[in-house]
Amino acid sequence: MAEIGPPPLTGIKVLEFAGLAPGPFAGMLLADAGASIIRIDRASDTRGLPTPDALTRHKASVSVDLKSPSGTAFVKELVARGADVLIDPFRPGVLEKLGLGPDVLLNINPRLIYARLTGFRRDGKYAHMAGHDINYIAVSGALSLLGRADDTPHPPTNILADFAGGGANLFQGILLALLARQTSNKGQVVEANMVDGSAYLATFPRFGLKSGVGARGRGRNLLDGGCPYYETYETKDGRYYSVGALEPQFFRELVRGMGLQDRGLEEKRFAFDEWPAMRTLFRDTFRQKTRAEWEAIFDGTDACAAPVLEYGELEDDPAREGDQRPSVTLRRTPCLAIKRRPEGQSDPVVHGQGAGVAGDGYDGEPLAPGHGGAQLLEEWLGWKKGRDYDVQEGAFVLAKAASKL
């Protein structure tokens, strides 16, 4: 095996303003790749209780009174002393009102990547409205594609806008800006929003509205629940099985495994009028065996049929592929491990470097405001409490001689 180097974002310093869901998720992706993250919590949240944010692994916290000059001066000093990335999760204008907008901070540190994430577009008709994931995918058009034919549009929990179109999209923008900085030596503002992010993710089905792939209306097409061989079915024991046998050779494997060969089903695959009867046949057939019995039939085949696994069984059954790992394997510079394990007992390239985190990726570890901040301030800047900064009523402030900002 080639020599393993440090995680790819080692040495990158990130200031993440405390928020919920998409902003912290972007920060967590950076942290998993080795970046050093200081979360900036509100000083009013320093009663010893953690914030609701569970996306905290590999992060530390400082608590700051952002409404006071001493608090904003503390943030500015961290930016001036070499922060690489700042994550702004707030609605438009919040940090500008605090004197911490991009014009101010990029003037202090021209190499700063000022990363901003909003729900609605900053320049759109909904810019000043509150919203949640369901609203962002609604106005993006993506929600109109999701759900059963005879039901209302149905959101896929808050995965699509908050996390895929929001946090992961912002993470991508930060990486692009860091790459551009290698050439220009300058930072920049990165703006992501969940409307454009989810619309971009919906590129293929959006094209399908005009190409014929998705032209039959929501829930009536090949990939959206309309097709009986791209569907989920209940098994005898009340569990579920997924079927995705789109290609003819996979469909043959599927009907053979179900014991439905020689019924002319292959010739009826694209006969839309036959789909309801085929769905009924598949539904009745899957109910005749337990999920485990279907697994015994389909495991190792090309039927494109697999069990719908639940996180409880993934977490507890070592035979399942439920151990949480980095989302991508880098062969020379692996990301950090998620699942805890004794040092050296698994491949650090595949499973990630280090011993993992509390909760193994199934339980989010809360991060109390101020926890771990002193250690990272010393690692980043060599700062010592009482010499370079103090903590007053739970708020981190600069020592009087620490800054002239």
- Where in the sequence numbering do the catalytic residues fall? 162
Catalogue the E-assigned strands of 93-171.
113-118
Q: Which amino acid is at 151?
A: D
* 242 and 173 Cβ atoms separated by less than 8 Å: no
Catalogue the E-assigned strands of 95-170.
113-118
Q: What are phi and psi of 30, to 5 degrees?
A: -65, -45
* Closest of 331, 360, 369 to residue 348, by C-alpha: 331
Q: To 10 degrees, what angle do helices 22-32 and 169-184 make?
A: 50
Distance CA 243, CA 129 (A): 40
First to last CA, the chain: 50
Q: Is 300 exposed, middle or buried (0-12, 13-18, 19+ CB in 10 A)?
A: exposed
Distance CA 51, CA 49 (A): 7
Q: What are phi and psi of 178, to 5 degrees?
A: -65, -40
Residue 360, by phi and psi: left (phi above 0), alpha (psi -120 to 50) or beta?
left
* 227 and 275 Cβ atoms separated by less than 8 Å: yes
Distance CA 12, CA 28 (A): 13
Distance CA 235, CA 270 (A): 25
